[in-house]
Amino acid sequence: MIIGIPKEIKNNENRVALTPGGAAVLREAGHSVIVEAGAGAGSGFSDDEYAKEDAQLLPSAAEVWGKAEMIMKVKEPLPAEFGYFREGLTLFTYLHLAAEPKLTEALVQHKVTAIAYETIQLPSGGLPLLTPMSEVAGRMSVQVGAQFLEKNYGGRGILLGGVPGVPPADVIILGGGIVGTNAAKMALGLGANVVVIERSAERLRYLDDVFHGRIRTLMSNPYNIANAVQKADLLIGAVLIPGAKAPKLVSEEMVRQMKPGAVIVDVAVDQGGSITTVDRVTTHSAPTYEKYGVLHYAVANMPGAVPRTSTLALTNVTIGYALELADKGVIRALYGNPPLKLGVNTYQGHVTYPAVAEAVGLPYTGLDSLLPIS
């Protein structure tokens, strides 16, 4: 199979879909890897490093997209890339289609087989290709939140951990999954008062155990959320429903009641956000906006700010699935790997993931009805 790695074009997106080491794995298995020149530079990987692994360097994105049978990316294609879509192309990347109706329509129109990293799901419910970026984003949410709490960035002028004789900041985390757990770990490590709000009693028990009672846990309901949000210095949205839009848990009125100079970091913004006042996506070059005296951070590609770490972590988990797709071909790989099959969001002009179809208002078609008989 010919696997193409184009350069990411999203604002300040410095990750790349495959490291030179990943290219070596695919090449050793007999596949061809073509890389757009400069694609790895933002993550610290030179063209020479790819060339040493026998990857072919091409000067333009158009050539990479045009020659590849499978495109591996990091972020969802932008409108400037829709013209590269064609029938028979396999796209393997983060898609978050529930918040991207135009992209979904373009994939359907051009009959692209689009496999989303974020909906590949294990029988346990785990999301193996989303987990490392959730870990990065969860940890980053506290770093950036602590920074924007500084007065010169528009925040309250609070040190997250306080000092002796001065109380620390109150960090409220909505969601106790991978993002929320990693955010709690970082916030607790910096000395903040940490509250995690989660709808699963089992998960709350787990968090109470692993943090040895050092964080406060609350069951998710409107009353608890409203009371906690009002006290927050830093509010982190860490809610995920695989493939679907994030539920709106924090109302506009709740945000109005927050302290002046408090900070919101909504990690779920690429799935529509869980805080009502997060009504736009921001970028690393202009990461925040103010509403009701509260600073909102809504960058959809947070891990792009730490691309070296993120690219290495991403390749660690994607390479096995990419190798299976390349070795067996898409259809045989899907039949042999149920978690991978759940990653297929569009196929042969149909939306094949129910939560995506519901979110974008397109018909849902079960993938099994479209695949040839095995």
Q: Which residues pair with 70 in a beta bridge?
A: 3, 90
Sorting pLDDT into bands at 50, 70 and 90, what band is 21? Answer: very high
Whether 96 is a known active-site residue: answer yes
Torsions phi, psi of 206, nearest 5? -60, -45
Name the amino acid, one letter, at 353.
Y
From 58-62, 210-214, 266-270, 293-297, the region with the lowest mean pLDDT = 266-270
Residue 373 has pLDDT above 80, yes or no: no
203 annotated ligand-binding residue: yes
Extended strands (E) in the chain: 2-5, 32-36, 56-58, 70-72, 90-93, 113-116, 170-174, 193-198, 216-219, 234-237, 263-266, 288-291, 294-297, 344-347, 350-351
> Measured between alpha carbons, how far is 150 from 262 in angstroms, rounded to an integer?
10
* Domain 130-305 class, CATH top level: alpha beta
Sorting pLDDT into bands at 50, 70 and 90, what band is 11? Answer: confident
> Measured between alpha carbons, how far is 9 from 299 in angstroms, rounded to an integer?
15
> Measured between alpha carbons, how far is 299 from 31 in angstroms, rounded to an integer?
35
Q: What is the pLDDT of residues 309-320, one digit of tens each?
A: 999 999 999 999
Per the rule left: phi > 0, alpha: psi between -120 and 50, beta: everything else, 138 is alpha
Burial class from Cβ neighbours inside 10 Å (0-12, 13-18, 19+) for residue 186 reads buried
Please provide the DSSP assignment of 104-170 as one string.
HHHHHHTT-EEEEGGG---TTS--TTTHHHHHHHHHHHHHHHHHHTSGGGTS----TT-BTTBPPPE
Mean pLDDT for the chain?
96
For residue 156, the model assigns a pLDDT of: 97
For residue 245, the model assigns a pLDDT of: 82
Question: CATH 3.40.50.720 region(s) of the chain?
Answer: 2-112+306-369, 130-305
270 annotated ligand-binding residue: yes
15 annotated ligand-binding residue: yes
Residue 371 has pLDDT above 70, yes or no: yes
* The dihedral formed by the CA atoms of 249, 250, 251 and 252, expressed in degrees to the nearest 10: -150
75 annotated ligand-binding residue: yes
Kindly name the residue from 31, 96, 110, 296 that is annotated as catalytic: 96
From 92-96, 122-126, 242-246, 248-252, the region with the lowest mean pLDDT = 242-246
Residue 131 has pLDDT above 90, yes or no: yes
Residue 243 has pLDDT above 90, yes or no: no
Kindly name the residue from 110, 266, 270, 296 that is annotated as catalytic: 270
Residue 227 has pLDDT above 80, yes or no: yes
Secondary structure element (H or E) that encloses residue 238, with its range: none
Residue 210 has pLDDT above 90, yes or no: yes
108 annotated ligand-binding residue: no
58 annotated ligand-binding residue: no
Topology given in CATH for the domain delimited by 2-112+306-369: Rossmann fold (3.40.50)
Q: Which residues pair with 73 in a beta bridge?
A: none
Residue 165 has pLDDT above 80, yes or no: yes
Rounded to 10°, the helix 201-210/178-189 angle is 30
112 annotated ligand-binding residue: no
Residue 374 has pLDDT above 60, yes or no: no
Q: What is the pLDDT of residues 319-356, one digit of tens each?
A: 999 999 999 999 999 999 999 999 999 999 999 999 99
Identify which of 79, 85, 80 has the alpha carbon closest to the alpha carbon of residue 4: 85
Q: What is the pLDDT of residues 56-95, one digit of tens each?
A: 999 999 999 999 999 999 999 999 999 999 999 999 999 9
Name the amino acid, one letter, at 350.
H
